[in-house]
Amino acid sequence: MKFTNSFKTTMKWLMVSSFPVLIVYLFWGPLFPWSPIKPGYKRMEASWARVYMADSETDSSVYRLDEILKEEEAFHGLKFNEKFRIVILGKESNMKRYLPWLNGSGYSIKLGMVNVIYIGPNARTSPYGMEPYLKHEISHLLIHQNASSAKSNFQIQHQGWLTEGVATYFGGPHFYDRHELFELWTENGLAFDDLYCENPLEMGGRFKMKYTYYRFFIDYLISTYGLEQFQSYLRMYIRDPKKYQSIFMDVYGKDLSDILSGFKTYMSK
Ligand SMILES: [Zn+2]
């Protein structure tokens, strides 16, 4: 193939002009996890994760990551199948620089398609500490890695009540206890059978309440029917998330509506 001189000049100009953008993205932007040099950050290898964290990081949970990864597999009844990266941002950083599409909000996030977890400064300095956020995002990533296809993962995003419920049950953060949630839920006139999960960024003030609601639904399933049954549900759900209602019947022998009415009674006790 022959290129004209003007085409070559345009390509050269594009490459030269995009070079500074690439450098900024690598060192202070969305490409940071793949940057060959990360000034101020040290690297730590765990069984399934490569962690980048500030040289001064002191949170003990990150140093027992191998143990946490084993606990994640045992609780979910699933196995990791690919190594992933965890970036724990320094106190002086901000999420907006690395994840500009989030507008700086959020405490932590999993980017399943690229096997990356970010723990932001808000999570590190929260009253709950970093551990719940770390466990929460790893739960999401483990489920993502076990999904049967990209399509399943897309559908799972639409059933946030399950993945957020599992992650919040297992890792936290635990915002309210059962009685506090029951009071808040009834004060706000919310129904106990609405599992719909909107985008967390659009939940505003309802965020803590809704995540705790999903958490207690998982709590109810596990404490009433057992962890093994729940793990079966999760494995079947991951394969075919759209069938989440009929899978309840297959695993628990009950309609979702019956299970939710039992859940309401459990919450009110
Ligand atoms: Zn989450």
Ligand 1 centroid–CA 140 distance in Å is 7
Counting the structural domains of the chain, the total is 2
Shared domain for 75 and 155, answered yes or no, is: no
For residue range 56-91, list pLDDT tens digits in order: 887 888 999 999 999 999 999 999 999 999 999 887
Cβ–Cβ under 8 Å, residues 73 and 142: yes
pTM to 2 decimal places:
0.87
Ligand 1 centroid–CA 25 distance in Å is 25
Q: Tokens 């009685």 identify what position?
A: 179
Shared domain for 123 and 177, answered yes or no, is: no
Which secondary structure element, helix H or strand E, spans residue 107, and what is its range?
Answer: none
Residues 6+ apart with CB under 8 A from 263: 192, 216, 217, 220
Ligand 1 centroid–CA 232 distance in Å is 21
Query: CB within 5 A of ion ligand 1: which residues?
Result: 164, 167
User: Domain end: 131, 146, 161, which one?
Assistant: 146
CATH code assigned at 73: 3.30.2010.30
Ligand 1 centroid–CA 154 distance in Å is 15
Ligand 1 centroid–CA 2 distance in Å is 51
Cα 240 to the center of its chain, rounded Å: 19
Shared domain for 198 and 119, answered yes or no, is: no
Ligand 1 centroid–CA 149 distance in Å is 20
Kindly report the backbone phi and psi dihedral angles of residue 248, in degrees, each rounded to the nearest multiple of 5, phi listed first: -60, -45
Instruction: Classify residue 125: in a domain, yes or no.
Output: yes
Shared domain for 105 and 124, answered yes or no, is: yes
Mean pLDDT by 10-residue block, N- to C-terminus, for the chain (269 residues)?
66 69 73 84 94 85 94 98 92 78 74 89 86 95 92 83 94 90 84 70 76 93 96 94 92 93 88
Instruction: Classify residue 55: in a domain, yes or no.
Output: yes
Q: Work out whether the CA dihedral 165, 169, 171, 175 comes out positive or negative.
A: positive
The pLDDT of residue 159: 79
Name the amino acid, one letter, at 157: Q
Ligand 1 centroid–CA 7 distance in Å is 46
The pLDDT of residue 7: 67
Instruction: Classify residue 94: in a domain, yes or no.
Output: yes
Kindly report the backbone phi and psi dihedral angles of residue 96, in degrees, each rounded to the nearest multiple of 5, phi listed first: -65, -35
Residue 52 belongs to what domain range?
33-146
Name the amino acid, one letter, at 128: Y
Ligand 1 centroid–CA 168 distance in Å is 7
| 111 φ/ψ sector (left φ>0, alpha ψ -120 to 50, else beta) | beta
Instruction: Classify residue 20: in a domain, yes or no.
Output: no
Ligand 1 centroid–CA 38 distance in Å is 27
Ligand 1 centroid–CA 119 distance in Å is 12
The pLDDT of residue 170: 97
